[in-house]
Amino acid sequence: MRLELRDVRYVYAPGTPFEVEALRGVSLVVEPGEVLGIVGGTGSGKSTLVQHMNLLLTPTGGEVLVDGVDATTLKKSELRRRVGLVFQFPESALFAPTVEEDVAFAPRQLGLDEEEVQERVLESLRALEAGELAARSPFALSGGEKRRAAIAGVLAMKPEVLVLDEPTAGLDPATREDLLALILGLRNAGISVVLVSHDLDEVAEVADRVCALQEGRVRAIGTPAEVFYREPAQAPATVRVASLLRESKPEIGAPVRFAETLDALRALQGA
């Protein structure tokens, strides 16, 4: 699926004294099978933006296109199946007595037969290495386990685009790395992933392209190197180190990922 936002605007509480313009004309495309990182400071509009991707919020201006078709003309249930949105702290929405039933809830709503539902539940839990959690109560799980159970619930809808809003917040670094590996696995399986994160270091590791938001507008969009080297003060630690060295050591290039950066630093020292 190719998901396009064209000049999307959104105003909270329009016509009241509390009116806030959260999006001021955002245009971007989520290409099929890519990881698009969305970064930006607190209040830049990241969460508002992603809620437009399945029309949980209806833009007050501009349009959302699915493979070129105006998304408002599609059935909402269909759109929300194809574009799966995982909210910040999704575990707060877990409710069923077991993880298995929680994950089964959404696919069951689709009217699939029970065999297909069970298959999807197992498949989603396995993809998140959470198979052993199936029979447990969601309320007795650790933070990282709950997060995986909640993401499995969205994955069981078999979305074409998976939108993750701050999926690693509150996870320990090792669990975070597992989740980033999962994102790359989904991408390799052809699913587009939109990763909203305030952690630039993790975006640097997995994003194919990056969109930087600032005050409800797109400040920059492009490859991680294009976006991050344009404004190194708002870049991951790898880019900040390399851009400080670039002035006197231009041969360092423009590394972004940890492994690339380490190779570049080693080459510099070896030279």
Partner 1 sequence: MEHPGEGTRNGGSFVVSCESVSFSYPGSGRPALSDVSFELRPGEYVGVVGPNGGGKSTLVRLLNGLLKPDSGRVLVSGRDPATEPFEVRKHLGILFQDPENGLVAPFVEDDVAFGLENLGVPRKEMRDRVAGAIRAVGLEGFERREPDTLSGGEKQRVALAGLLAVEPDILVLDEPTSMLDAAGRREVLAYLETLRAEKTVLHVTHHLEELVRSDRILVLNGGELVADKTPERFFSDADLLRENRLVLPVVQRLALEIGLPPARLRTPEMLAEAILAKTESGTRAG
Binding site for partner 1 (CB under 8 A): 12-13, 17-18, 20, 22, 40-44, 46-47, 88-89, 92, 136-137, 139-145, 166, 169-177, 198, 200-201, 234, 236-238, 240-241, 244-245, 248-249, 258, 261-262, 265-266, 268-269, 271
Distances in Å between the Cα of 12 and the Cα atoms of 16, 55, 57, 115, 206 are 9, 15, 10, 43, 32
> What dihedral do alpha carbons 86, 91, 97, 98 form, nearest 10°?
70
Q: Measured from the CB of residue 47, what is the shortest distance to partner 1 in angstroms?
A: 7
55 vs 245, beta carbon nearer partner 1: 245
Q: Measured from the CB of residue 116, what is the shortest distance to partner 1 in angstroms?
A: 29
42 vs 188, beta carbon nearer partner 1: 42
Q: Measured from the CB of residue 252, what is the shortest distance to partner 1 in angstroms?
A: 10
DSSP 8-class letter at 2: -
CA separation for the pair 177, 110 (Å, rounded): 32
Distances in Å between the Cα of 164 and the Cα atoms of 88, 187, 197, 198, 237 are 8, 13, 9, 12, 22
176 vs 187, beta carbon nearer partner 1: 176
Q: Measured from the CB of residue 41, what is the shortest distance to partner 1 in angstroms?
A: 5
Encoded amino acid at 79, one letter: L
Q: 6: which residues sit within 8 A by CB, 6+ positions away? A: 27, 62, 63, 64, 65
Q: Measured from the CB of residue 7, what is the shortest distance to partner 1 in angstroms?
A: 22
117 vs 194, beta carbon nearer partner 1: 194
Q: Measured from the CB of residue 75, what is the shortest distance to partner 1 in angstroms?
A: 27
Residue 249, CA atoms < 13 Å, CB-side half-sphere:
16
107 vs 236, beta carbon nearer partner 1: 236
Q: Measured from the CB of residue 43, what is the shortest distance to partner 1 in angstroms?
A: 4
Element (H, E) at 213: strand 209-214
- Token pair, residue 123, equals 């498949």
191 vs 235, beta carbon nearer partner 1: 235
Element (H, E) at 175: helix 173-188
**How would DSSP label each residue in 84-150?**
EEE-SSGGGG--SSSHHHHHHHHHHHTT--HHHHHHHHHHHHHHTT-GGGTTS-GGGS-HHHHHHHH
124 vs 234, beta carbon nearer partner 1: 234
